[in-house]
Amino acid sequence: MSKKPSKPLSMSEMLQKLKLFNEKLETVRKGRFVPQVFRPDHGVTINFDTEKPLTVVKRGADEDAILALAITLRFFVQKRDGISLWQVADIYESLPLEVEKKSARSAVDSVDKYLDTPCGFDVNGEAMTNRRLFDVFMYGGLAHANSDKRLEYETWTKGPAAEILTFYFEGIVADMLQAIMSFRRMNERTIQMLQSNLGMPPESRGGSETEPISLK
């Protein structure tokens, strides 16, 4: 989703980018989206009773939690602030940290592969992929209202299908968040290394050498 910057980042700039990335991670961790979606009964119930109108009930994030999450999530998928997953992977490519470099690249490659995976259903005759659904929700109404996606978002979020598509969007975001969260401890170690190289006092943070891809 991003290309390497034309001008290499300085060590100080790398430090600030990794700090900002982790700060936004904490915003996600403290938000309401995570507990509302990472729950055993996350799903939808569809009522096909022939004597009643079709109804769909979603168990997941409420509208406010989704909107708040989208505002922060865009930091991790857009180039503007320089801390998208792909841009952070580029930072690691420029550092002499082979294990971290491999981990970062593996994470973003996995996200790209996942986003290009079919959802398993069609919308208006179009075979849907995770990336297509994610883009329409994020850039058609939640984080932005781009003209090329706004009408689709408004159409998709009306009627019984809205709850089903929103449920799938939540699932896509949940999987992406696990990959994003896998950077946290790695970033903490790299931040300490960069601070040391810049002659700055280290920050006291605990944690193991590696962190599983998990939000718990």
Q: What is the full DSSP assignment across 89-145?
A: HHHHHTSS-HHHHHHHHHHHHHHHHHHTSEEEEEETTEEEEHHHHHHHHIIIIIS--
pLDDT of residue 210: 40
Give the H/E segment covering residue 58: strand 55-59
- Reduced 3-state DSSP string for 66-101: HHHHHHHHHHHCCCCCCCCHHHHHHHHHCCCCHHHH
The pTM of this model reads 0.86
Q: What is the mean pLDDT of each run of 10 residues along the chain (216 residues)?
A: 65 97 96 96 87 86 96 95 96 95 96 96 93 96 90 90 94 96 96 92 52 38
The helix (run of H) or strand (run of E) holding residue 59 is strand 55-59
Whole-number pLDDT of residue 200: 84
Nearest-angstrom CA–CA distance, 155 and 172: 20
Measured CA to CA, the distance from residue 128 to residue 120 in angstroms comes to 7
Q: CA 93, CA 14: separation in Å to the nearest integer? A: 12
Helix (H, G, I), strand (E, B) or coil at 44: strand
pLDDT of residue 48: 80
Q: Would residue 172 be called left, alpha or beta, if left means φ above 0 and alpha means ψ between -120 and 50 degrees?
A: alpha
